Structure 1
């Protein structure tokens, strides 16, 4: 059961990976392999991976380069990771409590997706899990200047849904997404790994 706030909202914004769909373990394995194939000599731990959850992939590689004093090509890592991930997309399942809630409010309230993953990956995940038709609005890093933890993605989603930010409820599994929701003036529901 989702821990929903005790008030009504005009619209709902959902993160994708780890929130609507249980894709995070597959993303992690693909991240490790993509970094290795592109010359990263450091270990990318699962804790680091979850720390960066929701942050645009390109930005994550830039930060990792700074932390590890490396010069791994961010675009190459993103492309390699996408290729590896697509090969495993059939393994992805819905996060049922969140997906069921999205289905229950579809057609009654505006809903959207705001994800730190690249647009093609988000669309493929939602298509594979049968959720794509619920979301006429999908915001990804390509649509904004700054990704999570900046509020830009959530603010754009609210604007495109035609509602005020404070009237939106966000569903998120990542620290950066929770920070972005707060910065946007929105309430958020945290989706723990145990719900997946």
Structure 2
């Protein structure tokens, strides 16, 4: 399956990391399930639930789950454990080939950025493991903005640091929250389906 890019003279490109550049979603799901299990979560964290919350900050996902299930699991502690489990497995990561090849084809020709809902050390380690780190001088993570996806803050900051007007940027995303954020930022977006991985 090939990547379909809109026919428009974009001036800058913003990539999500997990599930878009890097095929990390299966590992993230495993880490989530294990972290919730170790916190005695009384609910099942299915793949469907996992993908429905793609791109949302980990601690916010735990708060959403607590509200839904009437539980009181500590968001910070689940987030930390989940990241620890995931980080141990980062060397296993593979790039999402069509997206990684597209990014390589743009390198040196257009400004590019990564805007990810994951923590910066994890994003950098994932991009290093898949040898994509050198393509992206600009990396935006939730620590750098007031509101994460689905708010437009991360994409607007990426555009600003690339020196490109938001309307001239293309976002590549696999999560609904990221697609909403792109729309709110006034940017066109390409959805990266799971079938591309």
For this structure pair, what is the TM-score category when the shorter chain's length is used for normalisation? over 0.9
Residue 61 (1) aligns with residue 58 (2): no
Number of the residue aligned with 2:128:
127
After superposing on structure 2, the runs of 4+ consecutive aligned residues of structure 1 that deviate more than 6 Å are none
SS at match of 2:37: helix
The 5 A counterparts of 1:89-128 are 89-128=90-129
Shift of 1:39: 2.8
User: What do the CA deviations read for 1:156-178 (whole angstroms, capped 9, x no partner)?
Assistant: 10011111100000000011111
Residue equivalent to 1:75 = 76
Superposition pairs of residues 161-172 of structure 1, within 5 angstroms: 161-172=162-173
The residue aligned with 2:178 is 177
Whole-angstrom distance in 2 between the partners of 1:155 and 1:132: 21
Unaligned runs of 5+ in 1: none
In structure 2, C-alpha distance between the alignment counterparts of 1:71 and 1:142, rounded to whole Å: 24
Answer yes or no: is 1:85 the counterpart of 2:78. no
TM-score (norm 2): 0.97
C-alpha distance in structure 1 between counterparts of 2:79 and 2:27, whole Å: 14
Other structure's SS at 1:102 match: helix
Give the aligned CA root-mean-square deviation in angstroms: 0.8
Task: Point out where structure 2 has 5 or more consecutive residues left out of the alignment.
Answer: none
Separation in structure 2 between the aligned mates of residue 52 and residue 172 of structure 1, nearest angstrom: 13
Cα drift, residue 54 of structure 1: 0.4
Inter-partner Cα distance in structure 2 for 1:173 and 1:3: 14
What TM-score results when the alignment is normalised by the length of structure 1? 0.98
Cα deviation code 1:97-150 (max 9, x no counterpart): 100111111111100000011111111100000001111110011111111111
Distance of 1:180 and 1:35 partners within structure 2: 27
Q: Where in structure 2 are the equivalents of 1:128-143 lying within 5 Å?
A: 128-143=129-144
